[in-house]
Amino acid sequence: MSERQGVGLGRYAAAALIAFGLAALYAATDLHFGTARQPGTGFFPILVAVAVVVFAALAFAERPEPQGGEKTVAAGGQARVWAVIAALAVYAGLINAAGFILSTAVLLFLLLRLIGRASWAGTAIGVLSGSIGCYWVFTRLGLPLPAGVFGF
């Protein structure tokens, strides 16, 4: 991708921050601002939400960094990134129902074999040690990971 598109990322991020700050200001309208003598619950959040909007606007207006700060985005890399994000979101949604072992085994297979292109042997070792191994270790350390369908 071109440098121009990479530069755009900084602007988009600044615009998103401005929108977030404005949304926070709107949400804070329910909170009592108070006075300088008796600052209310909303006193500090409203001030810092204004600061978010002001500084993000300055960041939006500033000249893009010539190099270093903002990076360009490669299309193939982004597809892999969003595949991992989606997999983790599904993982978080299923971990209680399917259990740690099954959901982690599927996640690790995806990360090792499909994303990382590890060997079949490396994938098998990673999947088994990461799912059954971690379950065994962490439950004995006192962390109650969900047993799910393979609970033992």
Structure tokens at 118: 């590890």
Which residue, 82 or 152, is less far from another protein as judged by CB? 82
Taking CB under 8 A as the criterion, the residue among 1, 48, 128, 149 binding another protein is: 48
Nearest distance, CB of residue 2 and another protein, angstroms: 15
Q: Which residue's structure tokens are 């006075």?
A: 35
Q: Which is nearer to another protein, 70 or 102 (CB)?
A: 70
Asked if residue 106 lies in contact with residue 123, where contact means CB atoms within 8 angstroms, the answer is: no
Residues of span 13-32 touching another protein by CB under 8 A: 13-14, 17, 20-21, 24, 27-28, 31
In angstroms, the CA 81 to CA 59 distance is 26
Least distance between another protein and beta carbon 81 (Å) = 5
* Least spacing, CB of residue 65 vs another protein, in Å: 6
Which residues, numbered 60-99, are part of the site for another protein (CB under 8 A)?
62, 65, 68-71, 73-74, 77-78, 80-81, 84-85, 88-89, 91-93, 95-96
Q: How many residues bind another protein (CB under 8 A)?
A: 71
Q: Please list, in sequence order, all residues whose beta carbon lies within 8 angstroms of the beta carbon of residue 123, skipping any fewer than 6 positions away.
A: 108, 109, 112, 113
Q: Looking at residues 93 to 152 of the shown chain, list those that interact with another protein (rule: CB under 8 A).
A: 93, 95-96, 104, 107-108, 111-112, 115-118, 122, 126, 130, 134, 138, 141-145
Decide: helix, strand or coil at residue 39.
Answer: strand
Identify any residues that bridge with 34 across adjacent strands, giving them in sequence order. 39
Q: Which amino acid is at 90?
A: V
Coil, strand or helix at 83: helix
C-beta separation of 24 from 17 below 8 A = no
